Chains A and B, each alone.
Chain A
């Protein structure tokens, strides 16, 4: 092992241990506050944590050492070692804190079912008079998902070539383009469609257009990632062969890369439409229009029989989309 490397690993190990014990004391403090209304002051949590972390690291039995410097006594069974028990402790205390934070209450779960009776009877006695209204809203949802997918395809298609490691030349410009597109795609994908919907419902007003824009942004980002990963997995042989004929870069992409990715691209795209239909419902809740918006309105008016119709319709559409997209993808696999 190189010296530099060892130093870096030790640093990672000791930092892990410090955070490990600060977290444990933080959890203890929280629980004491919940149960006895007496928390450990913040600075003491940090001091205790650092002390415990340092002691366990110096004694050489800590979890940080186990992960980053695994040369020391790794053959022991976990229940015979200090790191094993400290990991058990952190998992256990996390579970207890979680139970408290989430306010798990089994008593309510098993005795208060009657509160949901209205919804249940609504679902099983749907109000068929509003079926036409619901179907209109449903069509809105399906079409907005479809448009979001259609608009996303060409953009993601072009971007994916520039986000594929094996196609970008290993020059400064090539690397910069690759990193910028990858970063933006990851960033936009990590922002949920529901957040985009909130932004666009303010921008262009509540309605299906806002929902479409939200899904489109999210689809572009995730299709770019999926597409470019597909490009990175292609057989490099044909690309090399096309290049050797004297083809230009664009010709090499069109004839060497595109034929290899066209059927997985179609499969991903149909899958994306499937996801978009589901997400369109959720997006509707925050101002994206369609059946989601209708569901929100009826739920707030406590019209459970109307809610029932909507729930059945959503379930049916998701089920059909799921089946159709699975079938189509299966067919595409043989191409």
Chain B
């Protein structure tokens, strides 16, 4: 199968001196659902943000769909970014705009400035946006301001926004960490469906092993900026779990 994401000796040292990533080598195949595990501060968020250059890596190489991400500049970087959608823990919607407008912002990478300023006039864009909202079960919320939606609904709007990009890769940075367990599972279901039926490659950081087992096809664990485990979800037993999270950790069951 085709390699979708390839990292070669990726390093990130912040201006504060924190060495967040200490040489990451990783290959992710097309259509994989790759779960990132690890304690807070182990480098998961930094890794995800290096992939679309929200954070500039210090050294190393990143190839996504065969394109060198690190070398890209200006327009080229925009073209790469629009193929990589991102989902955030805090949803990061613009709260005083409607769900529909928020979803339409997913099209920005494809639009000129003039086109984006007249979004509501472009029937085809609006139609796609409404279809995506329907896909996450929120068609009737299109005109509602997102600040009035629940956490789970907001994350689904964010998924619809991601779909608008027509992405090949979805990066999810703890997408369910601020949701209750039931809502968390339903949001993960949407990500799982995109992975299976649209063959999108997903890299998703998580804290719950139960969700990792249910949705992940592969688990990569980070500790202090290095990969300490790379395998399938079923391979993680108690011993491996303690290696990743430390001796005192207990697995919390979320069903």
Contacts and interface: CB of A to CB of B under 8 A. Distances in A.
Interface of A: 237-238, 240-248, 250-251, 254-256, 259-260, 262-263, 335
Contacts of B107: 245
A244 B105 contact: no
Interface residues of B, number: 34
Given A251-B113, A254-B117, A255-B105, A245 B92 contact: no
Contact of A251 (B88, B108, B161): B108
Residue of A237, A242, A246, A255 with most partner-chain B CB within 10 A: A246
Interface of A is mostly: helix
Given A237-B92, A245-B81, A245-B85, 8 more contacts: A238-B92, A238-B93, A241-B161, A242-B105, A244-B85, A245-B164, A251-B108, A254-B116
A240 B113 contact: no
A92 to B, nearest CB: 48
Contacts of A237: 88, 90-92
Given A248-B113, A254-B117, A241 B92 contact: yes
A191 to B, nearest CB: 36
B79 interface: yes
B6 to A, nearest CB: 20
A245 B54 contact: no
Contact of A241 (B79, B82, B86, B111): B86
A259 B102 CA distance: 11
Given A248-B78, A248-B113, A255-B108, A243 B96 contact: no
B106 interface: yes
B129 interface: no
B198 to A, nearest CB: 18
Contacts of B108: 242, 245-248, 251, 255
A174 to B, nearest CB: 15
Contact of A250 (B54, B96, B113, B161): B113
Given A254-B117, A255-B105, A259-B94, A246 B78 contact: yes
Contacts of A262: 96
A233 to B, nearest CB: 15
B105 A247 contact: yes
A243 B79 contact: no
B105 A245 contact: yes
Q: Which among A237, A242, A245, A250 has the highest number of chain B CB atoms within 10 Å?
A: A245
Given A237-B88, A240-B54, A250-B113, A245 B161 contact: yes
